[in-house]
Structure 1
Amino acid sequence: MWNDNAQIVDTYVDHFGSGRGVVREELVDRHILEHLGDELDGRRIVDFGSGAGQQTIRFAERGCHVTLVEPSPLMMDRARARLAELPTEVGDRVTMVCATAQEAAAELPKASFDAVLSHGVLMYLDSPVPLVTIMVEAARPGGLVSVLTKSSEALAARAGFQGDFATALRAFEQAETTRGWLGVDTRGDSVAGLTDCLAGLGAERLAWHGVGVFSDHRDDLDGRSAAELATLVELEYRAGRIDPYRGIARLIHVLARRTA
């Protein structure tokens, strides 16, 4: 659908300019920065399934050398348009690879990236293992691995909070799969499952956060002021770090460090 449906691609890209999208980006960015540190100049980052670069291009603006790996030419077009609005030196720090993660992994140097990201991708795959394997192999020893995906343990939350109780009830019978906001069935993963997967590949979990505790189910955030959204980000940040709040978030953000 990403290769030939411009409407879905535009809907996806536009989402990150919405209130919910802004909150998600800010939270994930903050989590990553906590583990990358302040010295970002020259750091090497690769993003598998980068979309339009909505999460990663900001690292190029901070001086990082960024590789966007994205199989959809339509998404790559949106990323180029985004870069065209930024200073030339930012674009010079961005490498764009239009390929699947598997295709790109065969060409990219292994064990060489300071941070390896994949956000909002695992939910579209049958299993997390192939992509997480590629991610860990791409990270240098001590490098950061950042995975954002749908939680398999809170599938009923969004529909329930929105008052769609029948859909929420069905979520308990559907194992790991529910329909996402793009109208596509997507699956979830658990923190424990991802932690075990990462550990088996030589990456130790550093932290995990819930993303969207108070905001994922809302459709009234676009009219909120910048100050209100900033307050929401702070609320989400605090809630997403502690139980029981993070356990009901639709998205989970797992961060790990390659140890082997």
Structure 2
Amino acid sequence: MQPSSASNLSTPVLEHSVPPSRPSASDGEARVLAVVDGPGAADYTDTADYVAHTATLRGIVRQRLVTRALVEHLPPAPARLLDIGGGNGVQALEFARRGYHVTVCEPDPHMLAAARRGLANAPESVRRRVELVEGDGRDAVHLVGTGWDATFCHGVIMFVPEPAPLLNVLVELTRPGGIVSVVGKNGPALALRAGLQGRWQDTTALLGDPWPAVTARAATGAGAAGAAGPDRQPAMRVPPGDDPANVAGILTAAGTRSLAWYGIRTFTDHLGDVPPGPDVDAVVDAEWVAGAQDPYRGIARLVHHIHRRIG
């Protein structure tokens, strides 16, 4: 990455670059930024799509709910925050405005370029509180050091084959008593979006189809009783990074305790790229109340884990 954009700012954004430890879009290999839950169901597939997504109602709901939850648990500004996989810097910019010092560690140079463009329009006092680092979050201990007051990892764990190494690094990066914030997909509830969008084949695949079990039991003379119970096998296994219980368990085993967890996008996830309307504040308020209580948070699209490092 060429840090040439600093010359476009009256106050440069602190920035440095290291060779990424995994391929990025600049290596000539397509980088998929979203897991598809059925044909055509990806939220975004490249940097431009992701930036556009952040301006939709769904994107705004996500970012504002994450911020709203964090302000209840973060130490006061000017604490030092580290955003692993911070993308185009939307969350970093929000907390820099609130007086925090934020470092974004992001492997994709295109995302960092988008972050620089966003920072270019920010006041000088905000730009001075943001640092951009190019690199893989799993290497962050060597890139940015440890002892952070809070470490964020939002919308990243669903894109790694096994979340434990990254989650363990998050805890290592955070000082004892500091906050670890992780947002991931709610795997057990992924069928909800497909159903509300009328994608019935995808819905059945995500839920798991009980009919093969019925057929097998009938063929053996066992009957259909209980076919949707223990014998039912889901057609799609929830990846480890999409299993909220697994994510919470890994964080706890690494030396944290859970402070709270929230659901994100219970009512709005199926709305596609609908832009925000004049009622966006009311939408966010409704989503906030739902995401903080059962049963609504349990069927939300995303789960926000907030833990404290205890050792």
TM-score (norm 2): 0.75
Q: Do 1:71 and 1:98's aligned partners in 2 also have CA atoms closer than 8 Å?
A: yes
Question: What is the CA distance between 1:165 and its match in structure 2?
Answer: 1.1
Listed as ranges, the matches of 1:12-91 within 5 Å are: 12-37=50-75, 39-40=76-77, 42-91=78-127
Question: What is the CA distance between 1:67 and its match in structure 2?
Answer: 0.6
Q: Does 1:250 align with 2:301?
A: yes
The correspondence for 2:290, drawn from 239, 242, 247, is: 239
What is aligned with 1:209?
A: 262
The correspondence for 1:175, drawn from 233, 237, 240, is: 237
SS at match of 1:197: helix
Q: Distance in 1 between matches of 2:70 and 2:165?
A: 22
Q: Distance in 1 between matches of 2:262 and 2:169?
A: 22
What is aligned with 1:222?
A: 275
SS at match of 1:106: helix
Q: Does 1:95 align with 2:131?
A: yes
The correspondence for 1:128, drawn from 143, 153, 163, is: 163
Q: Distance in 2 between matches of 1:104 and 1:201?
A: 17
Summarize deviations over 1:5-29 as a string: whole Å, max 9, x none. 6972011011111111111111000
Question: What is the CA distance between 1:95 and its match in structure 2?
Answer: 1.1
Summarize deviations over 1:219-259 as a string: whole Å, max 9, x none. 3741521xx11111111101111111111111100000000
SS at match of 1:107: helix
Identity of aligned residues (%): 39
Q: Distance in 2 between matches of 1:224 and 1:103?
A: 40
Q: Do 2:56 and 2:276's aligned partners in 1 also have CA atoms closer than 8 Å?
A: no
Q: Distance in 1 between matches of 2:250 and 2:241?
A: 14
Question: What is the CA distance between 1:90 and its match in structure 2?
Answer: 1.3
Q: Do 2:241 and 2:247's aligned partners in 1 also have CA atoms closer than 8 Å?
A: no
Q: Which runs of 5+ in 2 are unaligned?
A: 1-22, 32-44, 208-234
What is aligned with 1:113?
A: 148
Q: Do 1:155 and 1:176's aligned partners in 2 also have CA atoms closer than 8 Å?
A: no
SS at match of 2:59: helix
SS at match of 1:217: helix
What one-letter code is carried by the residue in structure 1 that aligns with 2:135?
Answer: A
Larger Rg computed on CA atoms: 2
SS at match of 2:250: helix
Question: What is the CA distance between 1:96 and its match in structure 2?
Answer: 0.8
What one-letter code is carried by the residue in structure 1 that aligns with 2:128?
Answer: D
Q: Distance in 2 between matches of 1:69 and 1:9?
A: 16
Question: What is the CA distance between 1:74 and its match in structure 2?
Answer: 0.5
Q: Do 1:150 and 1:189's aligned partners in 2 also have CA atoms closer than 8 Å?
A: yes
Summarize deviations over 1:148-203 as a string: whole Å, max 9, x none. 010111121110111111101111311125xxxxxxxxx75233212211111001
SS at match of 1:144: strand
Q: Distance in 2 between matches of 1:188 and 1:202?
A: 18
SS at match of 1:134: helix
Q: Distance in 2 between matches of 1:241 and 1:216?
A: 16
Closer/same/farther in 2, CA of residues 166 and 52 from structure 1, 3 Å limit: same
TM-score (norm 1): 0.90
Q: How many corresponding residue pairs?
A: 246
